[in-house]
A and B are shown apart, each in its own frame.
Chain A
C-alpha cells in the first residue's frame, strides 16, 4: 500500500496560564499535549485515532491541518511537510471539526461559493458539486436561509459540505459524530464510507468504539500524548472486542481505571 501520511515524533506543549493551572490542579507551567507521536497512514484507508479525553487527539489533528505548529517533529502528507509547506498541505486536505465555525450571517449557498472561491475551484465544477452535495444532505431546501437560523444538525451538515468544497483527497475529521442525534450521525458515517469507496483517505479521531469498528481499517490508540498501539483492528484486538482490548491496554500503561 502507498503511504499517505508519515507522522514523525510530533510534540506539542502548551504554556498554561495561572487560571489553567488551577483548573487542571497542577503546578507545572507547561502541559505536554502530544509527546513524540508517530504513525503512518496509507492511501485509501480510514485511519482512526482512539483515545480518552485529553489524550491529545484534537491537538494532533490541528497540527496535521496546520492550524498550530508542532514544537518538534514533522508530518509528511502526500509529500508535503506540515512544518515547511503548510499552504500545500492546506490545499490537499479537508478539515472537519466543531472548532471551525461559519458566519451566522451568510446562507449555505453563499458560504459554499465563498469557500469554493478561496480554494480556487472552477466555478462550473463547483456549481455541479454544490447541487449534488446540497441534494444529498437535504440542504437545498435551506440554501437561502441564514446559517444562524438553521437547526444544529443542518448546521453540521453545511459545515461538512463547506469544508469539502474542493473535493480533497485527504479528509481529517475530529469527532465526526459528537453531539449529533442518531439520524444525523448515520448520515455522517454513511458519508464517510462513501468517501472511502471513492478512494479518499480519511483520518478520524474519536473515543467511540463502535464508530471505529464500523469505518476504520486501522487504528492508533493514543494515551497521554503517546501512540501506544497501532495496527489493523485484527492485529490489535485478536479475538477480543475493541472495547475490552482498549481497557486492557489502558490498565497496562496507566494503571487501574478506578484508582
Chain B
C-alpha cells in the first residue's frame, strides 16, 4: 500500500514537474476546444442566419400594387425592374453576388388571371422567384416571400385551416425544449468525453510505461522488493488522475463553448441535471477512465518504445470512436446486453444521463462491469511486469 502511494507520488511529481507536459496535456486541450468551438460556432451562426433587423433588397417585376400590401410584413426595400431583356444578366448577377437578394416576377394581369382561374383551365399563372441559396440573406428573403405567397394561395381556396391560431390546449408542438437539448447532448457529449479521456491518457501512458522500458529505468524498479501489483496499480492510478484532469479540462472547455456553438436558439441554462445525475456521471467517468488507462497501459507495456506504443494505440482509438458515435446516430445497439461490455456501457449510460433518461440499475451495472474489467486488466498488467519476455524481450 505504501509502495503504491510512493509510486503514485513519483509519477505525479514527474508529470507536474514538467510545465510543458502539464500545459500540453491538461491546459491546452480545454483551451483549444474552447477557442475552436467558439470560433466554429460563431462562424456557423454567421453563415446560417440573417440578422434580425436586416432589410432585404428585392427586385420586383410587374408587381401589382395590391401585392405590396401582402408583402408588408417583410422588411424589404423594393426596387422596380422593367424586365428589359438586355438588363437580365446584370440583375441575376447582382443576386448571385449578394448585392440584391431576390427577384420577384409576376405574369401580366396576374390578379385577374388568378381570380378567374379554375382548376380545369390547364396551366395556372406562375410567379417566379430568382434567388441564390448560397447567400443566407437571399435564402431568407426567398423563404419569406415564398411562404407569404403560399399562405395567400391557400387563403384563396380556403376550406379549412390546420393549427392556424392559438390552440385550445396551448402549444401545438409537444416537444419540450429540455428534451431537445437532452437529445442533442446525449448524442454529442459521450463522444466528446470518451475522446478527451482517451487523448488525456494517450499523452502520458506511453511515456510512463513504454518510455521507462525504453530508457531502462523500469529494470531499476524491478530489482526493488516492490510487488509487481503495486507497480501496476501505482501506474494505473497515477495515469488515471492525469487523464481525469485532462478530461475535466476538455469538459470545461466544451461546456463554456456550447452556448456559442448553439447560438441563441438554445438556452443552455435550461439544462439542469439533478445532483444525483452529476454524481452518477462522475462515477461512470471515473470507472471509464480506469478501463481506458488500463488498456493503454497494457498496450504500452507490450511495446518496446514510446513510438511503438503510440502506433499500437491507433486501433484502440478507432474502436472507441466507433462505439462513441452510436448514440449520435440514434441507434440502440445491443439492448441491455450491451451494458455488459466495458466502455460501450459507459457510452450508453452517459448518453442516458445526458438525455434525461437515467437508468439507475444499468448505470450501477456499468460501473460494476468497468471496475471488474479494471481489476482483470491490472492483473494482466501485473503479470506483464513479472514477465521477463515482456520487460526485456525482443
Complex Cα–Cα for A90 and B224 (A): 6
A105 to B10, CA, bound (A): 11
Bound Cα distance from A104 to B14, whole angstroms: 10
CB closest chain-A residue, reference B388 = A68
Contact A101 B223 (CB under 8 A): no
One of A47-55, A115-123, A130-138 contacting the partner? A115-123
Q: Which of A108-166 contact B (CB under 8 A)?
A: 110, 114-115, 117-120, 162-163
- Smallest CB–CB gap between B91 and chain A, Å? 71
Convert B1-29 into 0s and 1s, putting 1 for each residue whose CB lies closer than 8 angstroms to a CB of A: 01100110010011001100000000000
Contact of B223 among A65, A103, A120 (CB under 8 A): A65
Task: Output the least CB separation between B385 and chain A (Å).
Answer: 12
Contact B225 A103 (CB under 8 A): no
State A115–B220 Cα separation when bound (angstroms). 9
Nearest-CB residue, chain B, relative to A88? B225
Inter-subunit contact B224/A118 (CB<8 Å): yes
Asked whether, in the complex, the Cβ of B14 is within 8 Å of the Cβ of A100, the reply is no
Cβ of A91 within 8 Å of any chain B Cβ, yes or no, is yes
CB-defined contacts of A68 to chain B, threshold 8 Å: 388, 392
Contact: B220 with A102, CB < 8 Å? yes
Q: Is the CB of A90 within 8 A of B217?
A: no
What separation, in Å, do the CA atoms of A101 and B219 have in the docked complex?
A: 7
Q: Does B68 belong to the interface (CB within 8 Å)?
A: no
User: When the two chains form their complex, are residues A67 and B10 in contact, meaning their CB atoms are under 8 A apart?
Assistant: no
Q: Pick the residue among B2, B222, B394 that contacts A67 (CB under 8 A).
A: B222
- Residues of chain A lying within 8 A (CB to CB) of residue B6: 114, 117-118
> CB-CB < 8 A to A181: which residues of B?
none
Closest to A20 in B: B394
Query: Is the Cβ of A119 less than 8 Å from the Cβ of B225?
Result: yes
The reply to whether the CB of A95 lies closer than 8 angstroms to some CB of chain B is yes
B14 with A106: CB separation less than 8 A: yes
Q: Does B216 contact A (CB under 8 A)?
A: yes
Can you pick out 10 interface pairs between chain A and chain B where the beta carbons lie within 8 Å of each other? A87-B225, A91-B225, A100-B216, A100-B219, A102-B217, A103-B215, A114-B6, A117-B2, A117-B3, A118-B6
B interface residues (Cβ-Cβ under 8 A, vs A): 2-3, 6-7, 10, 13-14, 17-18, 212, 215-217, 219-227, 388, 392, 394
Q: What 9 A-B pairs are tightest by C-beta distance, nearest first?
A: A101-B216, A91-B225, A90-B225, A100-B220, A117-B6, A68-B388, A118-B224, A95-B223, A101-B217
- Using A87-B227, A90-B225 as known contacts, list a sample of 15 further A-B pairs with CB atoms less than 8 Å apart, ordered by residue number in A: A17-B394, A66-B223, A67-B219, A67-B223, A90-B224, A93-B223, A99-B219, A100-B220, A101-B215, A103-B217, A110-B13, A114-B6, A117-B2, A118-B7, A120-B225
